[in-house]
Amino acid sequence: MAESPTPVATPLTTETPSTSAGDGLEARVIVYNCDCHTYQQVIGLFCECIPGMTASRAFELAWKIDHHGEAVVFTGAWKQAEEIAGKLGNGGLRVAIQ
């Protein structure tokens, strides 16, 4: 009879919720589809509000939002994510920060 392989322990990944104010933490800005803006409007807002955004990347994100309902448009420091989300929200987009 052949010996069975020794089981290998798989580490579990756990996330600890943070209760801090959020300074310096990584955050994601998510934009949701709302069917009330044109691609040009969304691309313009992304290029205006998100540092380093290009028109071609903005189009890709707008397409993803249109076809999948949402997209992460920025990942970075919490404070910067709040600023970007505020600007996009003021432009009429539906946004959230995670």
Q: Per residue in 48-95, pLDDT tens?
A: 999 999 999 999 999 999 999 999 999 999 999 999 999 999 999 999
Q: What is the CATH number of the domain that holds 66?
A: 3.30.1390.10
The C-alpha atoms of residue 39 and residue 18 are separated, in whole angstroms, by: 36
Does residue 55 form part of some domain? yes
Q: pTM score > 0.95 for this model?
A: no
Which residues are CB-neighbours of 3 under 8 A, at least 6 positions away? none
- Interacting residues of 92 by C-beta distance below 8 A, sequence separation 6+: 34, 36, 37
pLDDT tens digits, one per residue of 13-51: 333 344 445 455 799 999 999 989 999 999 999 999 999
Give a yes or no: residue 14 inside a domain: no
State how many domains the chain has: 1
CA dist 1 and 36 (Å) reads 68
Q: Which residues contact 57 (CB under 8 A, 6 or more apart)?
A: 46
* Residue 5 pLDDT: 52
